[in-house]
Amino acid sequence: MVATRFRFNGGRLSLNFVATSAGRYLDGGGEEQLAQGEDLGRWFQLAGLVSEPPIARPTELVQARQLREAVYWLVHPRTRDDPSQDNIDTLNLWAAHCGLRPVLSADARTASLVAEHPVRACLSAVAADAIDILTGPDLAYTRECMHARCSVLFLDASRARQRRWCDMTRCGNRSKADRHRIRSRTARAQDQ
């Protein structure tokens, strides 16, 4: 199993799910973080949807990627105003599946989320969250990271609503370092 570092800085479940396609703008299309069914199950577990990661069948993995792309294009600031009917249909299809339900443990103090079809139920939760974004006030504050090599969508919950990067310690610092290198090269070239 490949050690994948999932990013959970989107501020919403569906935006975090979209981030499983890292670096969309890089040559070669970036990194597919949902390479195997185990990866998808691990993401569901790390996202807090299930306590035990389900293993997705190959068809479910393909469907998960299709849902991810539908959410990306429906929520993306450049394409949200002209939605594709195929993407809308994909989102509605997944939102219609039965969701996760809580089951109280024997101690009556803890619960776990279960479903007859856990992969479908988790994808349903992602779709429902995306619909909530698309139909609510959060859509206006959903941004794409401004770092040239990042494509992460995030909810800007900052006080001024002017956040530019998905993560200041990652993309924000990289952007500042890139600008510094460009200024330094320009200054050296002018001095010569």
Does a structural domain hold residue 25? yes
CATH number of the domain bearing residue 110: 1.10.3300.10
Q: Are 171 and 22 in contact (CB under 8 A)?
A: no
β-pair partners for 113:
102
Does a structural domain hold residue 6? no
pLDDT > 90 in the chain, percent: 57
Q: Which residues contact 156 (CB under 8 A, 6 or more apart)?
A: 11, 141, 142, 143, 162, 163
- Whether residue 47 has pLDDT greater than 70: yes
Section 150-174 average pLDDT: 79
β-pair partners for 103:
112
Residue numbers of the domain that contains 79: 13-191
Does a structural domain hold residue 5? no
Does a structural domain hold residue 18? yes
Q: Sign of the C-alpha dihedral, residues 106, 108, 112, 117?
A: positive
Domain count for the chain, please give it. 1
Q: What pLDDT, in 10s, does the model give residues 117-134?
A: 999 999 999 999 999 999
Does a structural domain hold residue 69? yes
Does a structural domain hold residue 74? yes
Q: Are 16 and 125 in contact (CB under 8 A)?
A: no
- Whether residue 83 has pLDDT greater than 90: yes
Global pTM exceeds 0.85: no
Does a structural domain hold residue 8? no
Does a structural domain hold residue 4? no
Q: Are 173 and 180 in contact (CB under 8 A)?
A: no
